[in-house]
Amino acid sequence: MSSPGPVLRGVVYSADGSSEIWQRALSRYAAGLRWEIWPALDRPEEVVAAALWLPPPGMLSTLPALRVVFSLGAGVDHLLALPDLPAALPVVRLADAGMAEQMIEYVLYGVLRFHRDFDRYQADQDLGRWAPSAVKRRHETRVGVLGLGALGSAVATALHRFGLPVAGWSRTQRTLADIETFSGPPGLVALARRSQVLVALLPLTPETRGVLSRPLFEQMPEGAALINCGRGELLVEADLLAALESGHLRGAMLDVLQQEPPPPAHPFWRHRAVCLTPHVAASTRVEEACEQIAQNLTRLIANEPLVGLVDRARGY
């Protein structure tokens, strides 16, 4: 984007310490803007665009000229929760941005962990037990994917191509080639009942908060497993612990938690049936993300519709 007029200013902030990487990349990909790192801004009152990951509360209220805010991730819950987010400000998410490939790897590992009993062998090793079990065929492990967006649909398709029986669930009815799909609350029950491994790839919204809870677990077959790589608040942690303790669920692989990292005394740290990873299922690829942001800035200047615009009422 180039501008013959006054300098357009953008601000970047990423709570994971990568602000400088983003500033350099955005200065290259969206060179029409002068990108600065929060809070070292020359003229905050002139900033028109913000590219953010977990920004500090109060930051947006210092940027009166803001015309758009970009999430530096696929999720936008961290932005929509900001008390100072102006009601009419467009919020834009990243779609895939290099994450689908990583998410496929993560979920495939998780599904195979349960399909091939690696969780049990790990527990056996701690007990000094050598106990091979019969190897299942792929068609015997049915997988359910909650969320069929940019990431969930790529994951469901990849698992299907791998030969696993996959079904998916979304808010509105989706069609994926050769994959059974469900939608809405009745569809969730149907999906849970058929899923030996349930994978959550939902955004956190008022509707999805707490969806991974006792009523859902009760619908899942005895010995089923859960993989959550959406958001920690999708899960009612106490309900998962109860389902694991009763043996109704055999295990869980959790990439996201309500508190990251969880406090030292959190029961998940040492639970024999829980595999934790530190929110690494899929990381934003800077180049792909900057391309999307730059293209959207061009659209914004041209008054064209933005791609990946979040529906604020829906929450994603």
Binding site for ligand OXD (CB under 6 A): 73-75, 284
Catalytic residues: 231, 279
β-partners of residue 19 are none
Examine residue 144 and tell whether it contacts ligand NDP (CB under 6 A).
no
Residue 172 neighbours by CB distance under 10 Å: 7
Closest residue to ligand NDP, Cβ-based?
A: 149
- When the beta carbons of 75 and 168 are compared against ligand OXD, the nearer one is 75
- When the beta carbons of 110 and 165 are compared against ligand OXD, the nearer one is 110
Task: Provide DSSP, 31-45.
Answer: TTEEEEETT--S-GG
Give the one residue of 124, 207, 288, 291 binding ligand NDP; rule: CB under 6 A.
207
- When the beta carbons of 1 and 76 are compared against ligand OXD, the nearer one is 76
- The angle at the Cα of 256, spanning 127 to 191, to the nearest 5 degrees, equals 85
- When the beta carbons of 192 and 256 are compared against ligand NDP, the nearer one is 256
Residue 174's binding partner among ligand NDP, ligand OXD, none (Cβ under 5 to 8 angstroms by kind) is: ligand NDP
Count of positions (residues) in the chain: 316
| Pair of tokens at residue 65 | 């000229």
Euclidean distance between CA atoms 77 and 66, whole angstroms: 19
Cis status, amide bond into 44, omega within 30 of 0: no
SS3 content of the chain, % helix, strand, coil (to 5): 35, 20, 45
Q: How far is the CB of 308 from ligand OXD (least distance, A)?
A: 12
Q: What is the contact surface with ligand NDP in residues (CB under 6 A)?
A: 73-75, 99, 147-152, 169-172, 174, 201-205, 207-208, 229-231, 255-256, 279, 281-282, 316
